Structure 1
């Protein structure tokens, strides 16, 4: 008898998958919009409040402090209380905090609220990618998760549009921009009542009837050719919860899948997983360091080069548009080349683009190098979110991706603080040379990750060991 997870894996991409991806993707886009908006707010407050580069660095970095904590705690909470509930809670937290930040009366208040925003943002991303990866059909799982990550580009483009059209309207333009952050708080209700809970999580908590109902809804959406056989239904309805009529334990409800480590005591740093955990953490650190160091400071760096505020926002918007084809390319290549090669190639391309951006000295070269950086960097992000959840079994999948994301957020804290020092030491050339080096290190680490394209997600570490030596 096929397990529920096998039945999900064998389904085509159904209208229910599409609605779920869209629902999670909208939350993801709102997350990106919030992160992107702060870069435009920083540039505006430099003019209006006279913020120094150090004060701007604090505004940028404090959000990433919250994201580091949120990513770590969010993964743990998702493995304990469920993916859907934690996803909705994170949207509520950062939506309300962003709306409150629009009322900031000074730097201290803005910094405090940005920390709360970061808590919600950091927790959301690994939880959402874990939820989507656990529902996506096995043959296109990587492509679906990259599709989720592509919503980040839509959110960042929305932030650029708000930055371009709203922030320059007047002294309160940045406040109206942050007020858009209230949208995720309302959308949290849609997530809470409109998204299914992970079948793997439900089984791990012994909620067999609820898990079966979720699977059948997806099978119904796929059409009559993909509904379970009469024999399968009789066996499920005739057996006890979690046990087949023949008395065999259902593979989806083994103790190891019930939120407990298996008999080998696997953890993120056990012998089986320590190599992939280390490589994943290095990739997360490198990509966060370079991405947030570059893009959070991009409007301000353009202003420092002599472009006025509106022109710098215009260039940032154009550069941001290149994120979309980057995601599209990664989504196709990840099922052709595989996760590891796609991630490594896009990280390498990011390194080259960062070096070229550091040398750019005219509007044309700034835009061209910036678009190349957007293309490769965001394609790498898509591949990274696809590969992370595949590396760990159900009982620690959200924890594993969340801990790696939390470590990466340390880099996103450091990078904005480091940019002013690098600018003083060697200008823009030094800044982007350091970013290029970080991308290279991340690309080398990516080559050491196992290639898991086309394999089923692990339930409790009982997947074939062949995946470890590819």
Structure 2
């Protein structure tokens, strides 16, 4: 399953680990807040609606930051923007530990979110452009498993810190720790280079003077791809992110677990997500991008219903947490290679980051909706309803997007148009025009 890694060049491996480490720290810093949230609800007297607004503001700022960083990555380079984003969000994670009230924390979380969105935007494109076509799905998807490592690290830290520090300042310690791994990632990334395809594309842009603007991804020839990929991202990232945001609160208020026990429990879920990332990455190259999404979405529907609505506790709850994380969160892995292949090189980072961060922004609305609905129908029911709606939208998007497995990237402006066939086409089965456009 991992023989492909041995075939990577030193440059490909350096990029692999630089992105893996960055995404792990990104996920860890984001997930740490989900363990802090139930503590602040009790300590500051926050309502579930306020908690939802706090998470929503972060996700919205991440969407704005991600789109902006994608545009900057198209202009100034993927590796350069990656260094900036990780320094940014780690700094504001640390500063959030000094917040004294809801308003201060809201302000710092908004600034923190700008870096969250940019980290994935630049990293996914860098990976997609450097890794060769036959391994792109496996490599980019496996790097995405860094999120599972980050979530697990957050769960372990939350379990330890909240177990040994009083809660009135233990949450501050938890957030401040987030800056330390970021410094290590900055060191690991010092040797990262820009992809050759980006260098060639930038030379072409400078030669012709035809520099795409922020609105290039909304041009008629690109708009269908932008819209459909954004809807797919909403179903996969938005719903998954909303569930992850509310999971510790769900465990404490519905399952009546302590914050420390919730942290260890979420570790099982994120452990399942790690293997889900690996499986999704492998299947994306094996079955195709769309069939992989469809399989994971169908399984996520089933697991969500069982997880939220069955009267589970103890070991059955823990056991079901593994497949829950495997399908619901592991589904993220195929987004990176799929989006890289859908957009042309000159606007690849802009298009990819917009679609991904639209999913985050729409997911922000899902987080708030869960908080509001929970006041009327219960938290489990609210999570279940929003999740099923998002999965349905994502499944419909996969039926209208083209299959891109095996496409060779090139310094081209022209995007591929979505086609209506629903089979997972092989590279040999694609038309010469579609291959040339990439």
In the superposition, the TM-score normalised over structure 2's length comes to 0.87
Partner of 2:79: 84
Larger Rg: 1
- Name which of structure 1's ranges 460-469 and 433-442 shifts more when overlaid on structure 2: 460-469
Per-residue CA deviations over 1:333-381 (Å, capped at 9, x if unaligned) read: 1111011111221122212211222213222443344322211122210
Distance 2:435 2:14 in 1: 31
Matched, 1:198 2:216: no
- Report the secondary structure of 1:335's partner residue: helix
Distance 1:377 1:362 in 2: 18
Q: Is the 8 A contact 2:51 2:371 kept in 1?
A: no
Kindly tell me: are residues 95 and 258 of structure 1, through their superposed partners in 2, closer, same or farther at Cα, counting changes over 3 Å?
farther
> RMSD of the TM alignment (CA)?
2.5
Distance 2:406 2:103 in 1: 49
Q: Is the 8 A contact 1:61 1:416 kept in 2?
A: yes
CA-CA distance at 1:424 after TM superposition: 2.7
Kindly tell me: are residues 153 and 100 of structure 1, through their superposed partners in 2, closer, same or farther at Cα, counting changes over 3 Å?
same
Which of 278, 284, 288 does residue 233 from structure 2 map onto? 284
Q: Is the 8 A contact 2:162 2:260 kept in 1?
A: no
Q: Is the 8 A contact 2:147 2:274 kept in 1?
A: no
Unaligned runs of 5+ in 1: 1-10, 207-252
Distance 1:404 1:30 in 2: 22
CA-CA distance at 1:285 after TM superposition: 1.5
Matched, 1:440 2:392: yes
Distance 1:188 1:372 in 2: 30
Per-residue CA deviations over 1:190-246 (Å, capped at 9, x if unaligned) read: 26632111222222333xxxxxxxxxxxxxxxxxxxxxxxxxxxxxxxxxxxxxxxx
Distance 1:369 1:430 in 2: 19
Partner of 1:244: none
Matched, 1:323 2:320: no
Matched, 1:296 2:281: no
- Name which of structure 1's ranges 11-20 and 339-348 shifts more when overlaid on structure 2: 11-20
- Report the secondary structure of 1:420's partner residue: helix
The correspondence of residues 156-171 of structure 1 with structure 2, limited to 5 A, is 156-168=151-163, 169-170=165-166, 171=168
Distance 2:222 2:195 in 1: 23
In the superposition, the TM-score normalised over structure 1's length comes to 0.82
Per-residue CA deviations over 1:134-188 (Å, capped at 9, x if unaligned) read: 1001111111100110111001100111111113321321111111221355246
Per-residue CA deviations over 1:101-136 (Å, capped at 9, x if unaligned) read: 111122211111111110001111111000011100
Partner of 2:94: 99
Partner of 1:416: 367
Q: Is the 8 A contact 2:35 2:259 kept in 1?
A: no
CA-CA distance at 1:48 after TM superposition: 2.9
Distance 1:137 1:198 in 2: 11
Matched, 1:186 2:183: yes
Kindly tell me: are residues 441 and 360 of structure 1, through their superposed partners in 2, closer, same or farther at Cα, counting changes over 3 Å?
same
Matched, 1:308 2:258: yes
- Report the secondary structure of 1:197's partner residue: coil
Which of 331, 336, 352 does residue 286 from structure 2 map onto? 336
Number of equivalent positions: 410
